[in-house]
């Protein structure tokens, strides 16, 4: 049937099962928003800023496993998406970002709100498209969803010119293209099985790829079959429940002592869907240090990129474990015992106020509540101490480290799950995108925001302590913001937890209120600016040099 | 992995549309890798262009670039010509200062290298030579003393000898490690 381009777009989104979109209208997407209005089947969440929309689509994608979708107009609308797209790209989150652009007759003439968003996003998308002809629109959208959700997932941008939205052409509904799959090489599986069976102390590292392939039961089965310890990267948090007896906690710069010790003691690393980033393989030459490394990934370009591997297996984590499991032998209990005893499981070496608050919050939050973090000290404290016992509910900007990610992502996670969400943020991060609190209020999002307020940019300050002899250049915020009044002025509730307050009682009030009223509650948690994230391994250093106290520096 | 710096030739069949070149060159510039030579043109299949990239670097750089390029939607087939027995050709046009007194010397050199004179003016000559890049290098060295006013090389084109074709190659993604 004949249809306008804008209507074809909406119909193609419906083909893909899209029911939620985050976005912001403007001049070059008027036709798309008109089609959305007339169609009425898709819930559109109007954010305060396009960056919030991109992060919301990202949060939505992380918790649902579906492709997140965001809309923005041309020019500044499109460029405001850029940080959100880059965040999704670094963490391999499936996203389709749709922007409008000026019509073909205006293109390249520096028209009002014209920007080459395809050019700008080229290095931060898996692929992008400029649609100049309405006849190509439907197939482009179908392809975009297929690319975003196939192989190593990631963001795809579609820039749709205004004339395409208006022009008519024939539309024929179609089923989504099947995702491209990778055939697992049986020979490699056999080699991997032999290497693992020959090893005495295998350590499983679960990365974001385990979450992306939803290989949760497989990961647990693998650790049980081998009786091997599991550690995870920030992106892999929640892949194995934190309360699982074989889970040693996070690996990396601020990972646990147990994970670091197990890494040193192990003789074979089974790296599942992880790219050995510099926050994990801090010293890429010495990371493996003679151990066998079996690297399983869907991206061929990751093999030997950062860490030289013994055996590369091109497969998603789920297919790999399914294939290798019957070939593996149990390690007999000694190794897991040693790994668990090496550091104590949840080894809080220093006690910081944030741990008490996070612990209380995790006890009050339902098990199926998503946990969203911003970036910095609070992010690491949450990763260390807030147990995720259900998978795919942890949203954090790992690769790009985007301050200001949290508010948008929390809104997306709330729409993705329909559950109460917990956002852990800092006063630096929160101030970047606090405008989205208005969105959460308007949309009635049950959200408890734990604002770890220390008046400083804590993580940068911590580095200034360690590497710059306490010269605190521009990391003291000196804000006079009254966050309770701020929350109230936005129509949300505000609560203060002062240094000596009973955190649990105050948090109970916050959780009860958020649940009962389906509203965001901003909890201003006053913490010390001198608290540090420990343990810590310095950039480029080896796991043997893990600092447990600042004095060890 | 061989960390010795060598000249590598990457051949790729890519989608013949706008933006593809930017996408690929961006992969190099992002890593601080320099493209030594780049040749792109449409092929017998109007949907595909064939691209030849010369990269000077070590094996790590080569494998990263091939795999990163292979991930692009617009890259259909890719391979490294160094792995095969190939014919390399490049074309050179060089305008040299050539008054009548030196013309015969240049003509003598041209005979040895099988170069052609394609334009002649009172005091200049445009010389044309086709051959593998090393032959062009050697020729340039010999004519340089006459004074090269301007020159252009087309960049390297390469085809594998025998039945071997790039489009029949296995996907690079199948070559793990």
**pLDDT, tens only, A214-255:** 999 999 999 999 999 999 999 999 999 999 999 999 999 999
The pTM of the full predicted model, rounded to 2 decimals, is 0.96
List, for residues B60-76, the tens digit of each pLDDT value: 999 999 999 999 999 99
Given a contact cutoff of 8 angstroms between Cβ atoms, the answer to whether A103 and A31 are in contact is no
Which residue segments constitute the domains of chain B, with CATH numbers given?
6-81 (3.30.70.260), 87-153 (3.30.70.1150)
Phi, psi of A111 (to 5 degrees): -70, 170
Given a contact cutoff of 8 angstroms between Cβ atoms, the answer to whether A396 and A372 are in contact is yes
User: In chain B, which residues have their Cβ closer than 8 Å to the Cβ of A298?
Assistant: none
List, for residues A487-501, the tens digit of each pLDDT value: 999 999 999 999 999
Strand boundaries in chain B, DSSP class E:
6-15, 35-42, 48-57, 75-80, 86-97, 116-120, 124-131, 148-153, 157-160
- Residue A304: which of B22, B23, B63 has the nearest Cβ? B63
Count of CB pairs separated by less than 8 Å, A with B: 46
Hey, are the CB atoms on A119 and B60 less than 8 Å from each other?
no
Hey, are the CB atoms on A126 and B173 less than 8 Å from each other?
no
CA A90 → CA A67, A111, A480, B104, distances in Å? Answer: 16, 32, 34, 63
Question: Mean pLDDT, chain A, as a whole number?
Answer: 96
- Residue of chain B whose Cα is closest to the Cα of A311: B177
Q: For residues B118 and B37, give the distance between their C-alpha atoms in angstroms, rounded to a whole number.
A: 24
Run of H or E residues at A22: strand A20-23
Distance from CA of A122 to the nearest CA of B (A): 7
Q: For residues A448 and A278, give the distance between their C-alpha atoms in angstroms, rounded to a whole number.
A: 32
Token pair of A257 as six digits: 């002592």
Q: Classify burial at B101, counting beta carbons within 10 Å of its beta carbon; exposed 0-12, middle 13-18, buried 19 or more.
A: exposed
Give the pLDDT score at A550: 86
Q: For residues A305 and A317, give the distance between their C-alpha atoms in angstroms, rounded to a whole number.
A: 19
Phi, psi of B153 (to 5 degrees): -110, 145
Distance from CA of B176 to the nearest CA of A (A): 7
Tell how strand A95-101 and strand A68-72 pair up: parallel
Q: For residues A292 and A287, give the distance between their C-alpha atoms in angstroms, rounded to a whole number.
A: 11
ipTM: 0.90
Give the pLDDT score at B175: 55
Flag whether pLDDT at A348 surpasses 70. Answer: no
Token pair of A144 as six digits: 């975009």
List, for residues A277-300, the tens digit of each pLDDT value: 999 999 999 999 999 999 999 999
Facing residues of A204 across strands? A230, A270
Query: Which DSSP category does A500 fall into?
Result: T
Give the pLDDT score at A446: 98
What parts of chain B have a pLDDT lower than 70?
1, 171-177
Burial A499-516 (b: 16+ CB within 10 A, else e): eeeebbebbebbbebbbe
Give the pLDDT score at A397: 98
- Residue B176: which of A127, A308, A312 has the nearest Cβ? A312
Give the pLDDT score at A551: 82
Given a contact cutoff of 8 angstroms between Cβ atoms, the answer to whether A312 and A192 are in contact is no
User: In chain A, which residues have their Cβ closer than 8 Å to the Cβ of B30?
Assistant: 123
Hey, are the CB atoms on B67 and A301 less than 8 Å from each other?
yes
Mean pLDDT of the A253-261 span: 96
User: In chain B, which residues have their Cβ closer than 8 Å to the Cβ of A127?
Assistant: 72-74
List, for residues A37-89, the tens digit of each pLDDT value: 999 999 999 999 999 999 999 999 999 999 999 999 999 999 999 999 999 99
Chain A residues with CB within 8 Å of chain B CB: 118-119, 122-123, 126-127, 130, 147, 152, 185, 188, 299-301, 303-305, 308-309, 311-314
Q: For residues A95 and A83, give the distance between their C-alpha atoms in angstroms, rounded to a whole number.
A: 13
Beta-carbon count within 10 A of A482 CB:
13
- Residue of chain B whose Cα is closest to the Cα of A121: B23
Token pair of A327 as six digits: 């070939």
Give the pLDDT score at A238: 98
List, for residues B133-147, the tens digit of each pLDDT value: 999 999 999 999 999
- Residue of chain A whose Cα is closest to the Cα of B27: A123
Which residue segments constitute the domains of chain A, with CATH numbers given?
2-170 (3.40.50.970), 186-344 (3.40.50.1220), 353-526 (3.40.50.970)
- As annotated, the active-site residues of A are 50, 112-113, 162, 459
User: In chain B, which residues have their Cβ closer than 8 Å to the Cβ of A312?
Assistant: 176-177
User: In chain B, which residues have their Cβ closer than 8 Å to the Cβ of A86?
Assistant: none
CA A473 → CA A402, A403, A456, A467, A477, distances in Å? Answer: 21, 18, 11, 12, 11
Hey, are the CB atoms on B23 and A314 less than 8 Å from each other?
no
A130: Cα within 13 Å, side-chain hemisphere: 22
- Residue of chain B whose Cα is closest to the Cα of A188: B176
When mean pLDDT is compared across A197-206, A342-351, A387-396, the lowest value belongs to A342-351
Terminal alpha carbon distance of chain A: 70
């Amino acid at each position: 049937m004949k249809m306008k381009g804008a209507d074809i777009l909406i119909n193609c989104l419906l083909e893909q099962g899209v029911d939620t979109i985050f976005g912001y209208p403007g001049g070059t997407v008027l036709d798309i928003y008109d089609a959305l209005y007339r169609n009425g089947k898709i819930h559109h969440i109007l954010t305060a800023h396009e960056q919030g929309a991109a992060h919301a689509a990202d949060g939505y994608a992380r918790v649902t496993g579906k492709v997140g979708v965001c809309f923005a107009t041309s020019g500044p609308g499109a460029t405001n998406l850029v940080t959100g797209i880059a965040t999704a790209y670094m963490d391999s989150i499936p996203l389709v970002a749709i922007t409008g652009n000026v019509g073909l007759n205006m293109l390249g003439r520096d028209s009002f709100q014209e920007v080459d968003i395809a050019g700008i996003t080229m290095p931060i998308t898996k692929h992008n498209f400029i649609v100049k002809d309405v006849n190509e629109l439907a197939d482009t959208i179908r392809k975009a969803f297929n690319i975003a959700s196939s192989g190593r997932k990631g963001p795809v941008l579609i820039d749709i010119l205004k004339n395409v939205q208006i022009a008519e052409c024939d539309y024929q509904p179609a089923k989504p293209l099947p995702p491209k799959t990778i055939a697992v090489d049986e020979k490699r599986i056999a080699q991997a099985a032999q290497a693992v069976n020959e090893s005495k102390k295998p350590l499983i590292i679960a990365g974001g790829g385990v979450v992306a392939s939803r290989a949760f039961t497989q990961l647990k089965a693998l650790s049980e079959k081998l009786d091997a310890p599991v550690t995870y990267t920030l992106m892999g948090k929640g892949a194995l429940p934190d309360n699982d007896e074989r889970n040693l906690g996070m690996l990396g710069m601020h990972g646990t002592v147990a994970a670091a010790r197990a890494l040193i003691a192990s003789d074979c690393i089974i790296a599942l869907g992880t790219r050995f980033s510099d926050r994990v393989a801090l010293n890429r030459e010495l990371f493996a240090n003679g151990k066998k490394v079996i690297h399983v990934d869907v991206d061929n370009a990751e093999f030997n990129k950062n860490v030289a591997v013994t055996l590369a297996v091109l497969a998603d984590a789920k297919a790999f474990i399914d294939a290798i499991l019957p070939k593996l032998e149990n390690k007999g209990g000694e190794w897991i015992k040693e790994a668990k005893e090496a550091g104590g499981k949840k080894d809080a070496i220093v006690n910081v106020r944030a741990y008490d608050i996070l612990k209380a919050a995790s006890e009050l939050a339902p098990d199926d509540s998503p946990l969203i973090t911003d970036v910095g000290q609070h992010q690491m404290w949450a990763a260390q101490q807030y147990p995720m016992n259900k998978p795919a509910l942890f949203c954090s900007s790992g690769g790009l480290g985007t301050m200001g990610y949290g508010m948008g992502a929390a809104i997306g996670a709330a729409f993705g799950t329909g559950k109460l969400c917990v956002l852990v943020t800092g006063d630096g991060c929160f101030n970047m995108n606090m405008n989205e609190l208005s969105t959460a209020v308007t949309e009635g999002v049950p959200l408890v925001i734990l604002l770890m307020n220390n008046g400083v940019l804590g993580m940068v300050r911590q580095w200034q302590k360690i590497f710059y002899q306490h010269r605190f250049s521009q990391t003291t915020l000196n804000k006079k913001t009254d966050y309770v009044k701020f929350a109230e002025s936005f129509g949300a509730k505000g609560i203060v937890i002062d240094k000596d307050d009973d955190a649990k009682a105050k948090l109970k009030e916050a959780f009860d209120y958020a649940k009962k009223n389906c509203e965001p509650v901003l909890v201003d948690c006053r913490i010390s600016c001198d608290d540090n994230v420990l343990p810590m391994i310095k950039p480029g250093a080896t796991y043997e040099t893990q600092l447990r106290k600042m004095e060890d520096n | 992995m061989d960390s010795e710096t060598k000249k590598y030739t990457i051949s790729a069949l890519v989608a013949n549309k706008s933006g593809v070149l930017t996408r690929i060159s961006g992969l190099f510039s992002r890593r601080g890798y320099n493209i030594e030579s780049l040749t792109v043109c449409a092929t017998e299949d109007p949907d595909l262009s064939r691209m030849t990239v010369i990269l000077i670097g070590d094996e790590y750089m080569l494998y990263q670039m091939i795999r990163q390029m292979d991930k692009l939607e617009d890259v259909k087939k890719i391979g490294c010509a160094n792995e095969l027995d190939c014919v390399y050709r490049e074309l050179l046009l060089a305008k040299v200062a050539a008054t009548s007194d030196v013309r015969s010397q240049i003509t003598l050199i041209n005979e040895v290298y099988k170069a052609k004179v394609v334009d002649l003016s009172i005091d200049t000559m445009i010389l044309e030579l086709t051959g593998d890049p090393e032959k062009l290098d050697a020729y340039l060295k010999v004519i340089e003393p006459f004074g090269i006013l301007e020159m252009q090389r087309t960049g390297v084109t390469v085809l594998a000898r025998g039945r071997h074709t790039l489009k029949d190659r296995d996907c690079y993604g199948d070559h793990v490690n």
